């Protein structure tokens, strides 16, 4: 389906990011309160790239083989979300690709902030595709640097000083492996641009 895309390198990327999270968690101790069933990071849409989308679709395909009813429930929730969000989607609602203009990016900041992730089991609060979750999910919680400084989950690091938070900083992909893999995937598939999880999983395409 994806030609000569290097799956081994993508698995390596996931391992690097997960190892960085584990180290940040070790340094954070009790300040990092992330746990199974906490849904703080599962409410509100966020952008995912084509690598994230690929992993999610492959994860869903695997779940369809192991537990078809659970997979069907994810697709149902995704399609319901698409139906709710299409009229105000800041991009192409037919393809699910987000517009990259500055104006639309600003609109996206206020878009669907109360929308639950369709991959989250509404009864348990657990992620149904945890092993295939996007990079944003894998790094959420510990301090991660962006153009706005160090960002953390608002539930974490209560009582920690700025210096203590900085000491827990997570550098998830120091060699920019994700960017090189993303470029290779987009070149091989011809698919470009970011989307959101609901649009990614609502279609039968690629499963």
The whole-number average pLDDT for the span 98-111 is 85
Residue ranges per structural domain of the chain: 7-202
The whole-number average pLDDT for the span 1-14 is 81
Strand partners, 98: 91
pLDDT given at position 37: 80
pLDDT given at position 207: 41
Q: Is the sign of the CA dihedral 35, 158, 25, 114 positive or negative?
A: positive
What percent of the chain has a predicted confidence (pLDDT) above 70?
Answer: 96
Residue 207 DSSP code? -
Residue 99 DSSP code? P
The string of pLDDT tens digits covering residues 122-158 is 999 999 999 999 999 999 999 999 888 899 999 999 9
């Amino acid at each position: 389906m994806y030609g000569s895309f290097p799956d081994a390198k993508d698995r390596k990327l996931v391992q690097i990011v997960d190892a960085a999270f584990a180290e940040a968690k070790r340094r954070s101790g009790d300040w990092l309160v992330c746990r199974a069933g906490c849904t703080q990071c599962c409410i509100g849409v966020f952008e995912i790239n084509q690598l994230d989308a690929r992993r999610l679709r492959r994860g869903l395909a695997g779940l369809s083989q192991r537990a078809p009813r659970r997979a069907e429930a994810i697709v149902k929730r995704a399609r319901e979300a698409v139906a709710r969000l299409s009229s105000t989607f800041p991009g192409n609602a037919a393809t699910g690709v987000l517009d990259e203009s500055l104006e639309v990016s600003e609109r996206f900041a206020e878009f669907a902030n109360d929308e639950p992730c369709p991959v989250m089991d509404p009864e348990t609060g657990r992620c149904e595709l945890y092993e295939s979750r996007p990079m944003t999910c894998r790094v959420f919680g510990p301090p991660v640097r962006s153009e706005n400084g160090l960002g953390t989950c608002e539930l974490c690091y209560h009582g920690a000083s700025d210096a203590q938070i900085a000491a827990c900083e997570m550098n998830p992909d120091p060699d920019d492996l994700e960017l090189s893999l993303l470029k290779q995937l987009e070149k091989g598939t011809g698919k470009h641009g970011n989307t959101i999880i609901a649009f990614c999983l609502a279609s039968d395409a690629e499963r």
